[in-house]
Amino acid sequence: MKWKNLAIVAALFAALFAWVYFYEIKGEKTREEAVEKEKKIFQFEEKDIAQITLKSAEGEFVLQKDKDNWKLVQPLAAKADKSTVDSLTSDIAQAKSERALDDPNPNFKNFGLEPAGVKVTVKLNDGKTHELELGDKDFSSSSVFARVPGQNKVLLLSSSLHSSATKKLFDFRDKNVLEFQRDQLKAMNILTKGKEYALEKASDDWNVKKPFESRADNTEINSIVGDLEFAKVEEFVDSTAELKTYGLTSPAVRVDLFLGDNRARKTLLVGNKIDSNYYAKDEARDTVFKIKEDLFKKLDFEATKIRDKKVVRFERPNVKQIDIKLPDKEFSFFRGSDDKWKMSKPEGHKGKVISEYKIFWPLEDLEGKELIDNANLTDPKYGFNSPAAQIKIVDKNNKTTEVALGKLDKEQVFVKTSAGTTLYKVEKKILEDLNLKPEDIIEK
């Protein structure tokens, strides 16, 4: 009997728990969701919107969905600014009535709703249309008076929808100067100061192919690419004037980007200066616009700006051997099986562990203060027939790079590499750095 009573009590507790869970906990959540849904002005989602028409003091704008993007079709045809339209569609789909005024016969004029300051018309993918009118903001400016045409009541909504719906034409237009996917960029040509520079990307590195051949300064080129990627239009020039009016038929700067395996071309033209901006144009679009002077300055460079001034570039972990030959002594270093750097020359120091930074730092920091292309490297004035130092760097794939130091030219020394015909002038301190002494580099 006792066990039977306990079972009954347990069953009652289970029933009570189930009631509390399904009605009080889960039910409360369902009721809250129902209340929130009832507050929504429209019962559709952002993805359902196909077209938006806005009428306000700023004009009449018509925006249409174009696959995953948006476009303006009125008052002009242009690509729309995605973030601006996404914010608008979100505000429309999520619009909620904070409360309705307790007035069965409201005077809509008192709330700026007759006539309405803003009219929003939404067309859905299924062809149905919905309308909403916005009037004045309340005393706090955090809410706006609104009404749904055909309903005789005044609603109070968040003013964020009013802000999104009263943007200017400039706000709704796509302001990317040149739209492209950075990871698709394979090559780039830049015409500036009367010279055309052809740059090719190999893996993560950039190389100059014209008007000379050399490694490019990756940091500088990537900075240029980044500035182009994020550059925004400062002002649109909606005019029918000829391009020569803006200096765009013979531009001061022309940038050609080559994208993907098929090398699709995107071109930016930069023309005359206007105040603190420059006229510019995406060759694929009709519109002329203004860009910041900073972008022009970035593109209007001298050759030395984009060149890699490092005499040699290598990844320290990939190097397995370094030889340094001076007129009166010779050193040879190798990476041991324990990954420590050791000396094999001069005699008497073979196998001794060295401080690797003392041999790497001078080579990693070797930078040309002046670069001379297509020099006659056999000319005796450069001193390579009797070098002041010779360096050999061997990587793990047995690829060898050789560097030779020649004569002094005041405070600099001539340097050449086996990788090209460029002549470098580097600070003469490198001769001191290479004048090694075993006792100074052997680890204590």
Angle 304-266-184 from CA coordinates, rounded to 5°: 80
Predicted local confidence at residue 373, as pLDDT: 84
Predicted local confidence at residue 213, as pLDDT: 85
Terminus-to-terminus CA distance in the chain, angstroms? 90
For residue 257, CA distances in Å to 190, 267, 298 come to: 9, 6, 16
Predicted local confidence at residue 33, as pLDDT: 45
What pLDDT digit, counting tens, does each position of 35-50 carry? 455 679 999 999 999 9
Predicted local confidence at residue 34, as pLDDT: 45
Question: What integer is the mean pLDDT of 249-273?
Answer: 96
* Architecture of the 47-172 domain: Sandwich (2.60)
Cα–Cα distance measured from residue 192 to residue 206, given in angstroms and rounded to the nearest whole number: 18
What H or E segment, with its residue span, contains residue 123?
strand 118-124
Question: What integer is the mean pLDDT of 150-179?
Answer: 94
Q: Where in the chain are the domains?
A: 1-39, 47-172, 182-306, 316-441
Cα–Cα distance measured from residue 146 to residue 133, given in angstroms and rounded to the nearest whole number: 6
Please give the model's pTM, rounded to 2 decimal places.
0.78
What pLDDT digit, counting tens, does each position of 101-154 carry? 878 888 999 999 999 999 999 999 999 999 999 999 998 899 999 999 989 999
Predicted local confidence at residue 382, as pLDDT: 96
The count of C-alpha atoms lying within 13 angstroms of the C-alpha of 286, restricted to the half-sphere facing its C-beta, is 8
Predicted local confidence at residue 18, as pLDDT: 58
What pLDDT digit, counting tens, does each position of 341-385 carry? 999 999 888 999 999 999 999 999 899 999 988 889 999 999 999
- The 10 Å Cβ neighbour count of residue 180 is 17
Contact of 316 with 333, CB cutoff 8 Å: no
Kindly tell me if the per-residue pLDDT of 405 is higher than 60. Answer: yes
Question: What integer is the mean pLDDT of 79-108?
Answer: 91
- Percent of the chain at pLDDT above 90? 80
**Residue 5's Cα: distance from chain center in Å?**
72
What H or E segment, with its residue span, contains residue 185?
strand 185-192
